């Protein structure tokens, strides 16, 4: 299959678009897995679209490596037209080889191809944002149009003024001041009106731009928050934040620029060309020959400079990325004494960006110098040709003046149209990236239609025949026909080897993911039929190994569990969580700000605030995912005490590494390879002498070794 794919891609590689396939092994493995008789890829649980989607991403990596900077302009055609074509073909070849034609029709392939291609700009989504600002936008367009029309008048009126002066100089008759006053006042009035119109449309347009951008940001943020956890597994947070910030900013700037300048430039170009023709068809003929050549050359150099500027931006982003990572993980950097290394890395990226920016600066300087010379030559040429026409009485000095001003306006407008075109392309691609996530519906919707049972919950949970693979790793089955019952108000602990799937069980109960097959029941109701906000907000409390706090006060952090909680409720939850004493020990008490992600608190303090946050909603079910494993002995004792109190009268699922913390559980399940292999109480499992007692022995041996080490060192 891979050979087939390579054969398809070969002609393109010879065009040096696809210099080499860097992931042949992955493609080969995937096709083998998918086509092997033992694979369950054809079972009903495995959607063919997923497999193709997976295949697609590998194919794209293999065949569609980013085009190098040195490649020439036709790469755009190759990349955007031939690239998708070859990938469509390869995806279909894959379906064919995988014998799944009956499952995957042409549309599925096209869907997957479309899903994985560069996002498209969707005008109807833009329209939804622009609609509320329509009146302001129409106002801005009308004012901008008016300003452009007036701008066309200005060369003609300047010409009138020059004609008055020229006639006076020639004839020395009449009242000069009287004659010049009229046209001068008219011109002054025109400048005034034009200034007002310009200010008006800029004010309106920036209002429209800002409101559209603000609406987009809010809608995109809401859409991102609505997505399920699987979405965040597949997308990097930094890139998502970039869409909220840089992409919307770029789109807003382009939107404003294209509407204001674009409209103005097009109107002025057309209007001034008509004026040029009316003033002197002969001179216009000359301009028509010379101007496009100069504008074309300018556009070419401009596009080169834009590319340099994009490179410079990318380089700055890289440098920022290095700084961001180092500052974000400053404790790790310091712990490993890596300040020098980080500084070197940052300096290297900054130096590169400096070099590109210097080249860019030199390019801009040369460009501006050359364009000044070219524009002045045009003026000189026009004056020379115009002077000849004046001496032949075919043109007046005023007309020449009008012609010069109008032709300069045309030059400026044409130059700005070429710049605007590039800006528009960038704006559209930024907009497309923003819109990509706007209409995205989560596979697990947060609200809408779910049931809220009106009887009080007993808190019984049944995992029935659960099989599960993470969406980002469809080939790796984490849970295999997993069965477990959490009886009401009892504590069930899951222990076992690392990577056995313990935390995955907790994630499924929280409905961060839905099982690939099987069902989870809460009080006899399938949790997929329940309201998700209610389930997470009121039924299940979750405490994990590394609780993340927000950079606000302790009071607000605890209240995060129940926004409407009174101060007394917050304090009560903190008392239950053994947190009240240390909180009141701080000078600001509950108003103490905990710093970014709670850095100003110790591990044990953070954990107790997190317990209070979970307890304040009084959940029926409590999930503790290795809640004490990161703590020292003293902190563990205080936290454990709080947890013992918190778990009374609730259904509790504990996921634990340290077996000493779960010996009192009503049921202990040992998990291995996605299944429960042993279950019973501590005593039952120890007397059985199976995997559990092995784990206990191992942990005791580790404990003894540690103890001996401490004694030896001591
Ligand atoms: N978000 C994810 N996407 C893809 N695979 C994942 C994800 N989270 C976990 N896995 C994989 O699922 C398997 C089970 O992970 P899980 O965290 O449930 O194990 P665990 O038993 O809790 O391990 P530990 O005791 O080390 O925390 C592992 O192979 C892990 O690599």
**604-640, pLDDT tens digit by residue?**
888 888 888 888 888 889 898 877 665 666 667 777 7
Give CA separation, 468 vs 43, 61, 240, 294, 479, in Å. Answer: 14, 27, 27, 64, 5
Write phi, then psi, for 71 (nearest 5 degrees).
-65, 155
Question: For residue 248, what are the domain limits?
Answer: 123-280+395-439
**Domain for residue 139, yes or no?**
yes
Q: Could you say which of 407, 439, 471 is where a domain stops?
A: 439
* CA nearest ligand 1 atom 10, residue: 470
Asked if pLDDT for residue 313 goes beyond 60, the answer is yes
Which of 52-56, 129-133, 356-360, 594-598 has the weakest average pLDDT? Answer: 52-56
Domains in the chain: how many in total? 2
- pLDDT tens per residue, range 408-466: 888 788 777 767 777 777 788 788 888 888 878 888 877 655 667 766 778 889 999 99
* CA nearest ligand 1 atom 6, residue: 470
Average pLDDT value for residue range 12-24: 34
Which ligand 1 atom is the nearest neighbour of the CA of 500? 21
Task: Find the CATH number of the domain harbouring 232.
Answer: 1.20.1560.10
Nearest C-alpha neighbor of 142 from the set 272, 270, 267, 252: 267
**Comparing 138 with 475, which gets the higher pLDDT?**
138
**Domain for residue 143, yes or no?**
yes
Give CA separation, 505 vs 86, 471, 671, in Å. Answer: 41, 15, 11
**Domain for residue 313, yes or no?**
no
Residue 478 Cα to ligand 1 middle (Å): 8
Both 484 and 424 in a single domain? no
218 C-beta neighbours (distance < 10 Å), count:
11
| Tokens describing residue 46 | 């495995």
d(CA 21, CA 12): 12
498 Cβ inside 6 Å of ligand 1: yes
Residue 503 Cα to ligand 1 middle (Å): 7
Q: Tell me the residue length of the chain.
A: 714
Both 413 and 523 in a single domain? no
Indicate whether this model's pTM tops 0.80: no
Both 417 and 515 in a single domain? no
Both 537 and 575 in a single domain? yes
Both 434 and 484 in a single domain? no
Determine the pLDDT at residue 393: 81
**Domain for residue 329, yes or no?**
no
Residue 541 Cα to ligand 1 middle (Å): 20
Q: In what order do the strands lie in the sheet with 517-522?
A: 477-486, 461-469, 517-522, 525-526
**Domain for residue 213, yes or no?**
yes
- pLDDT tens per residue, range 28-47: 444 444 444 444 433 333 44
Pocket probe for ligand 1: among 236, 480, 501, the residue whose CB has the most ligand atoms within 8 Å is: 501
Give CA separation, 238 vs 61, 120, 241, 345, 675, in Å. Answer: 21, 21, 5, 20, 36
Average pLDDT value for residue range 1-17: 39
Q: Could you say which of 439, 472, 506 is where a domain stops?
A: 439
**Domain for residue 341, yes or no?**
no
Residue 499 Cα to ligand 1 middle (Å): 5
The answer to whether 415 touches 297, Cβ cutoff 8 Å, is no
**Domain for residue 73, yes or no?**
no
Task: Find the CATH number of the domain harbouring 530.
Answer: 3.40.50.300
């Amino acid at each position: 299959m891979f050979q087939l794919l390579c054969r398809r891609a070969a002609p393109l590689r010879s065009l040096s678009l696809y210099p080499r396939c860097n992931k042949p092994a992955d493609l080969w493995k995937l096709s083998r897995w998918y086509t092997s008789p033992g694979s369950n890829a054809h079972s009903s649980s495995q959607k063919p679209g997923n497999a193709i989607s997976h295949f697609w991403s590998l194919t794209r990596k293999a065949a569609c490596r980013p085009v190098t900077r040195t490649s020439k302009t036709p790469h755009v055609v190759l990349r955007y037209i031939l690239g998708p074509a070859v990938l469509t073909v390869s995806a279909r070849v894959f379906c064919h080889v995988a014998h799944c034609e009956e499952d995957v029709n042409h549309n599925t392939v096209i869907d997957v191809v479309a899903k994985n291609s560069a996002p498209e700009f969707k005008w109807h989504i833009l329209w939804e944002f622009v609609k509320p600002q329509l009146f302001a936008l129409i106002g801005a367009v009308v004012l901008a149009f008016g300003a452009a029309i007036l701008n066309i008048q200005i060369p003609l009126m300047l010409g009138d003024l020059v004609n008055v002066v020229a006639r006076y100089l020639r004839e020395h008759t009449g009242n000069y001041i009287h004659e010049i006053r009229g046209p001068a006042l008219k011109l002054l009035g025109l400048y005034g009106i034009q200034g007002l119109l310009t200010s008006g449309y800029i004010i309106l347009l920036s209002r429209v731009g800002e409101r559209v951008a603000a609406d987009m940001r809010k809608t995109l943020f809401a859409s991102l928050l609505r997505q399920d956890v699987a979405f965040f597994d597949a997308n990097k947070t930094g890139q998502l934040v970039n869409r909220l910030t840089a992409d919307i900013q770029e789109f807003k700037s382009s939107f404003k620029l294209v509407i204001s300048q674009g409209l103005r430039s097009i109107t002025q170009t057309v209007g001034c060309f008509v004026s040029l023709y009316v003033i002197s068809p002969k001179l216009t003929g000359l301009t028509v020959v010379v101007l496009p050549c100069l504008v074309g050359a300018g556009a070419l150099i401009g596009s080169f400079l834009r590319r340099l500027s994009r490179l410079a931006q990318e380089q700055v982003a890289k440098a920022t990325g290095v700084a961001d990572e180092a500052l974000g993980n400053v404790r790790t950097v310091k712990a490993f004494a890596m300040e020098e290394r980080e500084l070197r890395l940052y300096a290297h990226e900054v130096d590169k960006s400096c070099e590109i920016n210097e080249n860019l600066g030199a390019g801009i300087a040369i460009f501006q110098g050359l364009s000044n010379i070219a524009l002045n030559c045009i003026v000189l040429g026009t004056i020379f040709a115009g002077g000849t026409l004046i001496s032949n009485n075919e043109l007046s000095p005023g007309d020449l003046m009008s012609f010069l001003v109008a032709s300069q306006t045309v030059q400026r407008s044409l130059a700005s149209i070429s710049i605007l075109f590039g800006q528009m392309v960038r704006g559209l691609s930024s907009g497309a990236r923003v819109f990509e996530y706007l209409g995205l519906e989560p596979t697990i919707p947060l609200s809408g239609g779910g049931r809220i049972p009106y009887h009080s919950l007993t808190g019984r949970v049944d995992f029935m025949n659960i099989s599960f693979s993470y969406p980002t790793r469809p080939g790796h089955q984490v849970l295999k026909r997993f069965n477990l019952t959490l009886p009401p108000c009892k504590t069930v602990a899951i222990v076992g080897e690392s990577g056995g799937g313990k935390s995955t069980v907790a994630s499924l109960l929280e409905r961060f993911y839905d099982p690939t097959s099987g069902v989870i029941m809460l009080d006899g109701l399938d949790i997929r039929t329940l309201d998700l906000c209610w389930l997470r907000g009121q039924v299940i409390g979750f405490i994990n190994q590394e609780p993340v706090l927000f950079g606000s006060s302790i009071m607000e952090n605890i209240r995060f569990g129940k926004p409407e909680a009174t101060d007394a409720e917050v304090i009560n939850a903190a008392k239950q969580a053994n947190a009240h004493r240390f909180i009141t020990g701080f000078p600001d008490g509950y108003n103490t700000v905990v710093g970014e992600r709670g850095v100003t608190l110790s591990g044990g303090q953070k954990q107790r605030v997190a317990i209070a946050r979970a307890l304040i909603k009084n959940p029926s079910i409590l999930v503790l995912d290795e809640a004490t494993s990161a703590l020292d002995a003293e902190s563990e004792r205080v936290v454990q005490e709080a947890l013992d109190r918190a778990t009374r009268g609730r259904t509790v699922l504990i996921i634990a590494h340290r077996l000493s913390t779960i010996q009192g559980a009503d049921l202990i399940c040992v998990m291995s390879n996605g299944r429960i292999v042993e279950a019973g109480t501590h005593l039952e499992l120890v007397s059985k002498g199976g995997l559990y007692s092995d784990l206990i022995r191992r942990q005791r041996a580790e404990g003894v070794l540690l103890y001996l080490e401490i004694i030896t060192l001591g």
